[in-house]
Structure 1
Amino acid sequence: MKYFSKNTWVYFNGTFVKADHTEVDLFGQSLHYGYSAIEGIRAYNTHNGTRLFRAEQHYDRLRRSCELVGISFPWKTDLLVERTYELLDKNNLRSAYIRPLVTAGQNMYLTPAKDSDIVITAWEWGPFLGTDLIRVSLSPYQRPNPDSLPPEAKISGQYVASIVATNEATQRGFDEAILLDRDGYVAQASSNNLFIEKDTVLYTPATGSIFPGITRQTVLEIANVLNIDVIEKKLSPDDLRGADSAFLTGTATGIVGIAAVDDAVFPEEWSDTLGATIQRAYKNLTLEKENYEVII
């Protein structure tokens, strides 16, 4: 798909410029070493107008990601939120995916560059994995060791592992890969968090090796409001295969149900699962419909 045209605006270091007029720093650390931080934010076309979902939380996490790896982040959250709304308006977008990216400046040494840039782009993008149930496979690749990089930092270079795992799974006919951690426990999908249902209880891998997503946290909050029990714990591959149902969560994905993992088909009808209930509540929350005041 094409993400921009000659009429597309992006926000770059305090000003709005046309996307095809931006330049790549050929000597920047981000290009050479993957030393940059990213975020993903959704804008929804609600009855209250275009609304960013938890934008402050996303920009605060972007700041934290940069701090964790030493990338300079001089921008204020409230200003970035304001400029994001302006960017959507300039591009006539009512429902969109927004990608803030912080890149590091020129430095060929393996020490942090002194300066950094921020660019915010936006485009129309449906659910990342579609809306139908998906088939996933346990990947031969592991989630990166949490002792090598902070797992809660959303760093661009870490996504190379996600691309490799996804490519391996799709070449075998699956929609997504499920990665294990260094100890052989289920961690997450290539870029999404995982929940499973067993005997009317939800389980999700504990933090430590996973990326603690904002959508994951939102699901935990929704489950609390709906009196759905959720247990965060280490999950084995057998726990996943033996589940009644399962689903993935992420900003780009939303909430998507899983039909099967490898050759193990989940027995519960998706419409009858806790995941489907939370999926409906999450949609109402993002669109600011019924009961959203209570959930927030």
Structure 2
Amino acid sequence: MYYTKDTVLFLNGKFIKAVDAHTDLYSQSLHYGFGAFEGIRAYQTQNGVKLFKAYEHFERLKNSCAAVGIPLEYDSHELTQISYQLLEKNNLTDAYIRPLAYCGPNMYLTTPKDVYLMICSWKWGKYHGDNLLKLCVSSYQRPNPASIKVEAKISGHYVNGILATSEAKVRGYDEALLLDMNGNVAAAPAANFFMEKDGVLYTPPLGHIFPSITRQVVLNICRELDIPVVERHINPHELEAADSAFLCGTAVEIAGIESIDAHTFSKSWKESIGAVVQEAYKCQVLEKSFSYVII
């Protein structure tokens, strides 16, 4: 699914075949999840193949590493160019790019000395497909921000998301919606959450949620289209009275939600603010004007 015998990836300064890539089984990242990664989308735009917000993603990768003490010495402009070369070598246009900073062998719970970088890519459609999603409120919570660096995209953090998503699917839902330690709506395992009520979008504030680049793009779109947005805590009881809702993230893009805990929203997706944002987001990543998008 992710690579063939001809797939090329970037590993520690060199482009090599994916089938020839190896890692140390004593890696601190493998044993303890102590690594950092990113997800970046490439699109076939009207101006050629373009990485969406590549510099911002690589800057966040560096910040994630710095936040937990992983020494990663790379320039974001350099990493962006490497990613374009990787797409070309694999003959990819619409694709997903995964940079991963991982650590060398170390069985101690100490800052690593040896850090490596891998960047791979593959053709990947929408994370949740095109159907509206059925969510459930998870029994798992987002981690306490006093226990981890919630602003860092660290590999081990995603065990929480795997547990929540797996639980949701066992219960017959597409995805989970996690609450924070105070019982407020936080986010999906790999996406941020927006809710519509009476012509206004509401989204949880930063603090307990991951500060998604896509979330900021959505906020910018709303500002440009004069869509009112309020960042505040959302009590899960408010979800039943909401008009519509959606998820956003690099992999997810903009994904409409049909229901939460089997409660279907009153407004159809096509009539929702989320559908307007979805169209504007599509135009932006494809480098098209979305001036025709009217509220």
Whether the TM-score (by the shorter chain) exceeds 0.5 is yes
Q: Runs of 4 or more off by more than 6 Å in structure 1? A: none
Shift of 1:241: 2.4
The equivalent residue for 1:4 is: 3
The equivalent residue for 1:113 is: 112
Q: Distance in 2 between matches of 1:187 and 1:242?
A: 17
Shift of 1:242: 1.7
Q: Distance in 2 between matches of 1:18 and 1:274?
A: 44
The equivalent residue for 1:190 is: 189
The equivalent residue for 2:229 is: 230
Q: Distance in 1 between matches of 2:138 and 2:216?
A: 25
Shift of 1:121: 0.6
**SS of 1:20 mapped into structure 2:** helix
The equivalent residue for 1:211 is: 210
Residue 268 (str. 1) matches residue 272 (str. 2): no
Q: Which amino acid aligns with 2:230?
A: I
Q: Distance in 2 between matches of 1:291 and 1:141?
A: 38
**SS of 2:220 mapped into structure 1:** helix
Q: Distance in 1 between matches of 2:23 and 2:113?
A: 18
Q: Distance in 2 between matches of 1:289 and 1:131?
A: 21
The equivalent residue for 1:169 is: 168
**SS of 1:130 mapped into structure 2:** coil
The equivalent residue for 2:127 is: 128
**SS of 2:130 mapped into structure 1:** coil
Q: Distance in 1 between matches of 2:34 and 2:207?
A: 22
Q: Distance in 2 between matches of 1:127 and 1:242?
A: 28
Are the counterparts in 1 of residues 133 and 255 from structure 2 also a CA contact under 8 Å?
A: yes
Are the counterparts in 1 of residues 134 and 262 from structure 2 also a CA contact under 8 Å?
A: no
Question: Over the residues paired in the alignment, what is the CA RMSD in angstroms?
Answer: 0.8
Q: Distance in 2 between matches of 1:239 and 1:228?
A: 20
Q: Distance in 1 between matches of 2:82 and 2:262?
A: 47
Residue 73 (str. 1) matches residue 66 (str. 2): no
Q: Distance in 2 between matches of 1:122 and 1:230?
A: 34
The equivalent residue for 1:94 is: 93
**SS of 1:75 mapped into structure 2:** coil
Q: Which amino acid aligns with 2:153?
A: K
Q: Which amino acid aligns with 1:47?
A: Q
Q: Distance in 1 between matches of 2:224 and 2:122?
A: 32
Identity %: 51
Shift of 1:263: 2.1
Paired residues for 1:234-249 under 5 Å = 234-249=233-248
Q: TM-score when scaled to structure 1? A: 0.97
Q: Distance in 1 between matches of 2:183 and 2:3?
A: 41
Q: Distance in 2 between matches of 1:150 and 1:242?
A: 33
Structure 2: gaps (5+ residues): none
Q: Which amino acid aligns with 1:274?
A: I
Residue 61 (str. 1) matches residue 60 (str. 2): yes
Shift of 1:291: 4.2
Q: Distance in 1 between matches of 2:19 and 2:57?
A: 26
Q: Distance in 1 between matches of 2:41 and 2:286?
A: 11
Q: Distance in 1 between matches of 2:144 and 2:24?
A: 30
Deviations 1:110-137 (A, max 9, x none): 1011120000010000000111111000
Q: TM-score when scaled to structure 2? A: 0.97
Q: Distance in 1 between matches of 2:76 and 2:55?
A: 6
